[in-house]
Structure 1
Amino acid sequence: MLAACSTPPPPAPQRPSAGTPAPTAPVPGDTGPLPPPLAQGKSRWVPVHWSELPGFDSDALHEAWNAWIKGCERPAPAFAPLCAEVRRLSIASAEEQRAWMVARLQPYRIEAFDGRADGLLTGYYEPLMDAARLPGNGFNVPLYRLPASFERKPWYTRQQIETLPEAQAALAGRAIAWLRDPVDALVLHIQGSGRLRVTEPDGSQRLVRLAFAGTNDHPYQSVGRWLLDQGATRDATWPGIKAWIAANPQRVNELLWSNPRYVFFREEPLDGLDAAFGPKGAQGVALTPGRSIAVDRQSIPYGTPVWLASSGPQVQLARLVMAQDTGSAIVGAVRADFFTGWGPEAGDVAGRLKQGLRLWALWPK
C-alpha cells in the first residue's frame, strides 16, 4: 500500500532529538473567528490558532505522514473523507502539507473538565529478545498462546499460572517460545508485544513478532509502584527496577507476582515492510516509531492527528503524531504513551520517559 502511495518506508527508529522547539511564527491563513469549544468524552477541546502549537513551522511532517497513511487503512469516520487527500500529499513538500492542514483542520487544545491542560507523557516500545522454540539450555520461561478453552474470566493470576498444576495443565503445549529471564517475560507482558530472535530445533534462527492476543483479565499492577510502596527504591524506572533485582535476586518472584495480570500472545511473521513498522495498535493499524501514541479513547478518538509538545530531562518533543493505540494505564484527558520503536535504544528511552505533556487535537473543519 505504501508503495502504491509513493511513500517511502519510515526511517529506522531513532532516539527523539533534543532541543527546545522555537515558538511558532504567525501561520498564513490562520485568521478568522474560532469555533466554539467541544466536549469529547472525558475531555474539553478548546479551539486555538495554529500559532499556539509549538514547533508547527519546523516539524518534519513527512515522517508523520507515514503514520497518517497507515491510519487511513482503518480511518475514523470523521477522517475517512480526507484520506484520499492525505495519500496524495505523501510526496508533497512540508510547506504544502502545512498549508493543507491549516486549510482543512482546526486545532483544539485538549483539557480536563477542570481546565487543566498539563498532563503526563510516558513511553513504550517493542522489546527485541533472544528465544528458543524448545525449552532447555537456560531457556525455561514460556511465552504462551491463549489457552485452548478460555471461557472462565478472570482466569488464574500470574502466581497461580506459574504454580498451580491445573493452570499448567491448561497451558500444556501452548508455549510459542521460551526466554531465559522471567523479568524479560514481564517486560513483554507489560509492553504487550515484542520481537523474538528464535532459535529453531534445527539450529536456524528466525525473527518473529509476538502480538497481543489477550489477558487473564486481572488488573495491571505496577511493579515499580510495588517497590515504592515497599520502600525498596526511590527509582521506579526500569533501570532502577533492574538495579533492585540485581541486588535482591531471591525476591524476584515476589516482585513479579505483585502484578497479577498475565498476557497471552500470537505469533506473526516479520519480514518486508512489516519489519519497518511496529505492532498493530488498538486502531488496528501498525504503529510508526516516534509518530504513534496511545491515548485514552474516551478523550481522543483513534485515528485523530494530534500535536504533541513535551519538555523534560529525557527528550524535547514538538511534533505531529497519530492517536493509534491505548493501554490500561493510559487514562485521562491529557495523557499519552509515546511509541519509541524497538530494541535496546528504544527501550532505554521508553523506560525513562516520564514528563510533562500538552496535546492539541487536529479535527476536520
Structure 2
Amino acid sequence: MTDRALLPALLLVLAGCAAPPAPTGDAPATAPAEVPRAVAVAPDSPTPSARPPAKAPAAKTARAVPKEVRTRNAMFKLSGFDELPGWQQDDIRAGWGAFRNSCGPLQKRAEWRELCAASAAVPPTEKAMRAFFEAHFTVLRILNTDATPEGDVTGYFEPLLEGQATRGGEYVYPVLGVPRGLYSLDWGQVPAAQRGGIVRVRPQGDRLVLTTGTGPGTYAMDLRRFVLDDRDRKLRLRLVDGAQARVEPYYTRAELEALGLPGGVDAPVLAWVNDPLALYAMQVQGSGRILMPDTSVLRVQYAEQNGHPFRPLRVVPKAKPVTRGAAGETPETFVIEGDDEAPVDGAVVTRGGRPAAAPAQASAAGDPLVDELLKGARKPAAKPSTPAATTPAPAARPQSAAVEPRRAPPAPARLNTDPSYVFFKVSADRRPNSEGPPGALGVPLTAGRSVAVDPRVTPLGYPMYLSAPPPSGSRVQVQRLVFAQDTGGAIRGALRADYFWGFGAEAGQMARSTRHRGQMWVMLPNAEAARLSSSRLVTRGAAAGDTVESNGQCLVDDGEFCSELPE
C-alpha cells in the first residue's frame, strides 16, 4: 500500500483519538456538581475557551438556565455573585441564622433537602458560608415588567404597647382574636365559568366550600360583588341567615366599630390596651408586644384580616410617653396628625385585595406603609434591656367578647376611613427577646436580614440580595444578603421589599426613615434554576435558550404562597 493510500486511514485514527469519549449511563450522576460554577457566571463572562478545562462541561450545562425569564409580574435576568454590590463586604455570618430558619419549612421540598442538609456542616466562617451560597445558588436579577431595575424599599418593625388582661380604667380597647363568624373561600377553586355569577356554598369549619345543593345550610354567593385578586385568592366572608340565606363581605372597620366592639362579634379578647391609635399602629405592622402590669410581655402576631382595603393614616407619638416600664423599652401613645384634615388620598393597598387606582397626582415612587406610622418617632437616649417575653398567666387567658360586651369609647372617627381591620393571636412559643415575630413563612423574623416580599415574584424563604441607600441618619449599609420570610398587603410588585428592623422605638425610627429606591436579586437552588426552561413553564423561547416567557404569575409555584390558577 502506498503512502498516499495510508494517509486517509491515519487521519481517521488520529480523529478518533481526539474525539471525547461517548457518555456512559453513569455520566449524568456527576453533572450537577458542575452546575453551581457554571450558572453563577454572568452572561457577559469570558467565553468557555478562556475558562479552565475542568469547567468546560459545566458551561454546556449552564445553557439550560435561560438568560432571561418573564412572568406576568416581573422579568428575571441571569446574573452572578460578582454583580452584587458589596457582596464581598457583607458579613454573611450575620444572615446565616435567618437562612437556617428558612431551611425549616423549605427542606420538605426535594430541591432543598440536600442543600439544607449540607448547610448544617458548613464551618462557621464567613469565607465558608459565602462559598456555600456561591456553589449552591443561581443568581437572577429582578426587573420590573418594563425592564427598569429599581423599586420601592420600605421598613417595618415590632412596636410595644401598654395593656392588661382585664378591662378597667383606661384599658378599654380590645385586642381581638379571629371572630368565630369569619369565613373564607379560595375563589381559585371556583370553576372559571362560574366566577362571574352566583354559586352555592356551605360552611365547613371556618371555610366555605362549593355545593350543588339548595337546601337548608347552603348559601347563595354572588361573586360579581367581589374583587377576585390573584395576589391573595382568599375572600373573607360572613353568613346571613333568613329566607334569602346569602354570603356577604365581612364587616369593615366602621361596621365593626358600629357594632360596639368587643360586642357584636364572637371573638376572643387577647388583651386590653389604653390607646386606640397604638392598637392601629400594631395592626398595620402585623405584630407587637404588650407590656403588662407585672412587667411581663405578651407577644401577639397577625392571625387574620377582614378582607377590606388598607388605607393608611399618619399617626405620631405624643410629646410625653408613659413612664411605666422605664427599665426597658417604653410604650408610646399616639395621635393622628392633622386630625381635622380630610382623609389622605392615595393608592389603596390591601392585605388580600386588589389595590385601587391611585389618583393622577399621587407619587408612585414610595409606599406609605411605614411613613404613615410613627412619623417623627423619638429615638431613645439609651437602649435599655427589654422585659422578658412571657405567655399570659392562667388568670390572663383571652376573654370572650360575649362575656363582656360593654362598648369601648369610640376610636377617633378618622380611623374608620381605613376599612381594614387585623385580628391577632398570642404567640404560642416562648422565644428569646432577640427573635422577631413569626413572618408569613412561619419562622421568626431576623432584624436586618428578613424582608417582606410579593411571593408571586420572590418565593418565600429564598435568599435575596438587596442594594439600597441607608436610612437617613444611619450608617447601616443596606447592601446585604436578606431572606424573603414575610408578606404584606402593601407589598406588591416585582421590585418591592419591606425591610424588618426589629423591635422597639429605635427600630420604629429606622423603619420610618426607610423609604428608598433599591435593586434586588433572588437566588434559586441550581437544580430549580435549571428547570426554569422546562416545558411546564415555558411558552416562548425555550428552543433558543435565551428568553423564557411564562403566561403564569409565579416564578416558583410552591402550591402555598403562590400557585397558578386551575384551568
User: Which TM-score bucket, shorter chain as reference?
Assistant: 0.7 to 0.9
Deviations 1:198-220, CA, capped at 9 Å, x for gaps: 23xxxx34222111111111111
Q: Does 1:83 align with 2:78?
A: no
Structure 2: distance between partners of 1:191 and 1:206: 21
Structure 2: distance between partners of 1:94 and 1:45: 28
Q: Does 1:298 align with 2:456?
A: yes
Asked whether the 8 Å contact 1:56–1:319 carries over to 2, the reply is: yes
Structure 1: distance between partners of 2:176 and 2:480: 37
Aligned with 2:345 (options 224, 229, 244) = 229
Overall identity of the aligned pairs, in %: 31
Distance 1:127 1:140, change over 3 A: same
TM-score normalised by the chain length of structure 1: 0.80
How many matched pairs? 320
SS at match of 1:106: strand
Deviations 1:130-188, CA, capped at 9 Å, x for gaps: 211112221121111112332305322212222224x6433467211111111100011
Distance 1:171 1:242, change over 3 A: farther
Distance 1:149 1:191, change over 3 A: same
Distance 1:352 1:227, change over 3 A: farther
TM-score normalised by the chain length of structure 2: 0.53
Asked whether the 8 Å contact 1:142–1:179 carries over to 2, the reply is: yes
Asked whether the 8 Å contact 2:374–2:508 carries over to 1, the reply is: no
Q: Does 1:92 align with 2:253?
A: no
Q: Does 1:103 align with 2:120?
A: no
Structure 2: distance between partners of 1:255 and 1:302: 35
User: Quick one: which amino acid aligns to residue 286 of structure 2?
Assistant: G
Asked whether the 8 Å contact 2:178–2:267 carries over to 1, the reply is: no
Structure 2: distance between partners of 1:280 and 1:131: 21
Distance 1:83 1:272, change over 3 A: same
Distance 1:94 1:171, change over 3 A: same
Partner of 2:165: 133
Structure 1: distance between partners of 2:124 and 2:471: 34
Partner of 2:389: none
Which structure has the higher relative contact order (CA within 8 Å, separation 6+)? 1
Partner of 2:257: 162
Asked whether the 8 Å contact 1:117–1:358 carries over to 2, the reply is: yes
Structure 2: distance between partners of 1:51 and 1:148: 52
User: Quick one: which amino acid aligns to residue 119 of structure 2?
Assistant: V
Structure 1: distance between partners of 2:131 and 2:84: 15
Aligned with 1:266 (options 425, 430, 441) = 425
Distance 1:214 1:252, change over 3 A: closer
Partner of 1:246: none
- TM-superposed CA distance for 1:39, in Å, is 3.0
Structure 2: distance between partners of 1:261 and 1:237: 15
Partner of 2:553: none
Structure 1: distance between partners of 2:413 and 2:450: 34
Asked whether the 8 Å contact 1:67–1:287 carries over to 2, the reply is: yes
Partner of 1:248: none
Residues 128-207 of structure 1 aligned to structure 2 (within 5 Å): 128-151=160-183, 152=238, 154-165=249-260, 168-171=262-265, 174-199=268-293, 204-207=294-297
SS at match of 1:115: coil
Q: Alpha carbon RMSD of aligned pairs, Å?
A: 2.8
Asked whether the 8 Å contact 1:294–1:326 carries over to 2, the reply is: yes
Structure 1: distance between partners of 2:513 and 2:181: 38
Structure 2: distance between partners of 1:347 and 1:238: 9
- TM-superposed CA distance for 1:120, in Å, is 0.5
- TM-superposed CA distance for 1:41, in Å, is 5.3
Residues 261-340 of structure 1 aligned to structure 2 (within 5 Å): 261-269=420-428, 271-273=430-432, 275-314=433-472, 315=474, 316-340=477-501
Distance 1:238 1:108, change over 3 A: same
- TM-superposed CA distance for 1:47, in Å, is 1.1
Asked whether the 8 Å contact 2:73–2:494 carries over to 1, the reply is: yes
SS at match of 1:362: strand
Asked whether the 8 Å contact 1:208–1:270 carries over to 2, the reply is: no
- TM-superposed CA distance for 1:196, in Å, is 1.3
- TM-superposed CA distance for 1:340, in Å, is 0.7
Structure 2: distance between partners of 1:81 and 1:116: 35
Distance 1:216 1:228, change over 3 A: closer
User: Quick one: which amino acid aligns to residue 104 of structure 1?
Assistant: H
Residues 15-94 of structure 1 aligned to structure 2 (within 5 Å): 35=65, 36-40=67-71, 42-75=73-106, 77=109, 78-89=111-122, 91-94=123-126
